[in-house]
Structure 1
Amino acid sequence: MSWQAEVVRVVARKVTRRALARQRDPAIARADFERLSGRVFRAPPGSLALEGTAGVPGLWVSNRPQGESVVLYFHGGAYVMGSPRTHTGIAAAIALRTGARVFVPDYRLAPEHPFPAAFDDAVATYDALVALGSRPENIVLGGDSAGGGLALALLGHLCREGRPPAGLFAFSPWTDLTFAGASLVTNAAREQVLPAHRLTETRTLILGSAKPQDTNDPRLSPLQASFPAAPPVMLHAAQSEILRDDTQRMRGRLPNAEIRIAGDLPHAWPMLHRWLPEARETLDQTAAFIRQCLPQTAES
C-alpha cells in the first residue's frame, strides 16, 4: 500500500468512521457530506457540471467530451445522504478518462422517500436518457456503495426486460440488505469508514413502512436479482471493508463479471482520486473497461 493509503486509513478510522457512528440525524449527515465533498472530492481542472433533467433532476458532468456516450452514475450515501454535488469529483474524473458525458441523478432519499423511490427514479432516469436520444449501446451504468447497488438493481430490471445498457461498473456496491455477507462481521474491526453496527438502523430508514422480508426484493438487494444476457460488468471492493462479500457474492449472479478485490483501502476509495494513487489506478482500470463497452468513445 502507498504511504498515502496509510495516512488515509488512520484519518478515516479516527475521524470519518467515528463521525458516522455518532451521527443519527440524516439532515446533519447530508450537510456534513456536502461540506466534506467541497474540500476533499474536487473535480479535475477543465471539468464542467451543469444542472439538467433526465427523468429526475441531476448534474451533467463533462471534461472535453467526445462522441455520444453517457455514463449514468448513481451516487452513494446509504440511500439517506449524498447528491450529485458530493459526487461531481468522481464523475468528472470518469468523464476526463473516458470522453463520455456523465449524468448523476438526484434520486430521492430516505427516510423522506423510502424504498422503492430510489429504484423508481433510477428506472425513470434511464428511460428518459433513451427518450432523449441516447441508445442503450451508448450507455454505461455506474455507482458507488448504495449507488452501486442501485445501478445493479437497475441492470437486473433492464436485462429482464431485454433492453440492457452497454455495461456496468461499481465501486464497493451495497448489494445485499438482508445482511447475509460474512464480511459484515469478519471485517467490522478492519473497516475504515462504515460503522457496521449502524447498518440495521439505516436499513430501517430505507424500508420505511415496508416489511423486513422486503430486503429480498431485487430492486433493493440485487444479489437476489437475475441478469439474463447481461452486458460486461466490472466490480471493485476492498479486502478489508465490510461490504467486500456484497461484491464477491455477485459472482453467483454474474459469472462473467470482472471482480477486482483491492487491499486495505477505504470504502469507495476511488472517491479519493486526488489523494490516493490506488484510487487513480482503479479509475484508470475502470475507464479502460468503459471504453471497451462504448465503441464510439473508444474510436474517438
Structure 2
Amino acid sequence: MQRLLESYRAILSPYSSRLWLGNRHKAKKVVLFLHGGGYISPILPGHLEWCWQAYIAAGMETNVEVAVAVLQYTLCPEARYPVQLRQAVDGISHLLASGFHPEDIVVGGDSAGGNLTAQLLCHLAQPHPVVRKVELSQPLAGSFLVSPWLSRLTGHASYSENGWIEMLSGPIMDRCAEALLGSEEAQQSYADLAFPFDTKSSRLSGLNNVVSQLYVTAGDQEVFRDQIIAFVHRVRKLNPTLKVQFDFQQKCAHDFILYEGQDERSGECMEAMKLWMTDLLATSKQH
C-alpha cells in the first residue's frame, strides 16, 4: 500500500474528487476507475492495489505510461441517482479536457461501479434526458465490468443458488436499490435507466460506437451471475462488431478480484484483468 499512497494525488472539484495513481502528466493511457460498494460504501485499499497490479503494472511491462484516475463519487444517501452518473460524466469530461483522446481512455469498475460504468456507456451512446451529453470523436479504448450490478430483479436462479454462499442477497440488493433511487416516484421514473439490463433492449445498441472493446467478468458462485450472462448475450446481439470478452470465473463469488487486492496478492482474477489490459495496450501501440 505504501507505493500506492506515494503515487496518487487528489484533485478536488465541486462535484467529486479523483485520486491519481501513476504519473498523469506523462501518461499515454488513462483508466477512469469507478469503485464498487453498493453506492453506500467508500473505496477500499484492495481497489487501489488492484489498479496498481492490473493497470499500472501492465503499462510498465508494455512500456506504455498508464495512470489511473479513481473517481470518488458521492455516496447514498447524501446523493441519489442520477448524481453519480453526472459525476462520472464530469470525470470523463475532465480527462478529455486534460488532453486525453477517447482512444487513450479506459473506463470500468466493479459491482456498483460496474453498474455506473454501464450507465456511462449507455449515456455516451444514447444520452440520458437529464444528464449532460458528451461527444466523443472516437470510441473509448476499452471498458471493463467486474461482477456488475445490472438489474434490480432478484428472482434469477443464481440468487437462490448462491445467496447462501456469498455476502450479497436479494434483501440486501433491494435496500441498495432503494438507497440509490430514493422516493417511489424516482424509482418509477429512473429505475429502467439506472439498471442497464432492465432498460429497453434498444438502449444497449450503439455501444460499439462509444467503446472499442468490453471485458466482463462474473463468478459462477455469485448472485449476479444470471443477469450478467444475459446482459453479455444482449450486448453481443445488439452490437455484433463490438469486441466482447466474457470471463466466467469458476469457483468465484462476487467481485473476487477485490478480495485478491485486499490480500495484496496477484491471483487468477487479477492476472486475467492484467492480461486483458496488456493486450489492449499492445494493440493500441500497433496503431
TM range (shorter): 0.7 to 0.9
- Pair 1:49 & 2:8 matched: yes
Answer whether contact 2:55 2:277 (CA < 8 A) is retained.
no
Show the counterpart of 2:122: 156
Question: CA 1:56–1:64 in 2, change beyond 3 Å: closer, same or farther?
Answer: closer
* CA deviation profile, 1:35-61 (whole Å, cap 9, x unmatched): xxxxxxx47679612212477312001
The 8 Å contact of residues 34 and 117 in structure 2, kept in 1 or not, is answered as yes
134-143 or 76-85, which deviates more: 76-85
Q: Residue 216 of structure 2: which of 232, 235, 256 is its match?
A: 235
* Aligned equivalents of 2:264, 2:72: Cα separation in 1: 27
The aligned residue for residue 62 of structure 1 is 22
| C-alpha distance in 2 between matches for 1:170 and 1:197 | 23
* 2:258 counterpart residue number: 271
Q: In structure 1, the residue corresponding to 2:75 is in which secondary structure?
A: coil
Say whether the 8 Å CA contact 1:43–1:93 is kept in structure 2: no
Distance in 2, Cα, partners of 1:290 & 1:85: 21
Letter in 1 for 2:79: H
Pairwise mapping of residues 139-288 of structure 1 onto structure 2 (< 5 A)?
Answer: 139-160=105-126, 163=136, 164-179=139-154, 181-190=156-165, 192-209=166-183, 210-214=185-189, 216-218=191-193, 220-223=194-197, 224=199, 225-228=203-206, 229=208, 230-255=211-236, 256-273=243-260, 275=263, 280-288=267-275
Q: 2: distance between equivalents of 1:109 and 1:267?
A: 21
Report the alpha carbon displacement of residue 84 of structure 1 after superposing the two structures with TM. Answer: 6.9
Is residue 69–residue 101 contact of structure 1 (8 Å, CA) maintained in 2? yes
Q: Does the Cα contact within 8 Å between 1:270 and 1:282 map onto a contact in 2? A: yes
Q: Return the alpha-carbon distance in structure 1 between the equivalents of residues 274 and 48 of structure 2.
A: 16
Using a 3 Å threshold, how does the CA distance of structure 1 residues 106 and 294 change in structure 2: closer, same or farther? same
1:234 aligns to what SS in structure 2? Answer: strand
Change (3 A) 1:205 1:60: same
2:63 counterpart residue number: none
1:276 and 1:238 map into 2 onto residues whose CA distance is: 20
251 and 287 in structure 1: CA distance in 2 versus 1, 3 angstrom threshold: same
TM-fit CA distance, 1:234: 0.8
Cα root mean square deviation, aligned:
2.9
Q: How many residues align?
A: 255
Which of 74, 77, 85 matches 2:34? Answer: 74
Distance 1:124 1:65 in 2: 19
| Structure 1 stretch displaced more, 246-255 or 286-295 | 286-295
| Contact 1:144/1:173 (<8 A) preserved | yes
> Normalising to structure 1: TM-score of the pair?
0.75
Structure 2 contact 49–264 (Cα < 8 Å) conserved: no
Q: Unaligned regions of 5+ residues in structure 1, if any?
A: 1-41
C-alpha displacement at 1:232, in angstroms?
A: 0.8
Q: Is the 8 A contact 1:167 1:232 kept in 2?
A: yes
Q: Calculate the TM-score normalised by the size of structure 2.
A: 0.78
Q: Percent identity?
A: 26
Partner AA of 1:248 in structure 2: I
Question: AA paired with 1:171?
Answer: V
Closer/same/farther in 2, CA of residues 85 and 120 from structure 1, 3 Å limit: farther
Distance 1:45 1:213, change over 3 A: closer
The more displaced of 50-59 and 125-134 is: 50-59
Measure, in 2, the Cα distance between the counterparts of 1:47 and 1:181. 43
Where structure 2 has 5 or more consecutive residues not aligned to the other structure, the ranges are 60-65, 128-134, 237-242
Partner of 1:91: 51
For the residue of structure 1 that corresponds to 2:8, the secondary structure is: strand
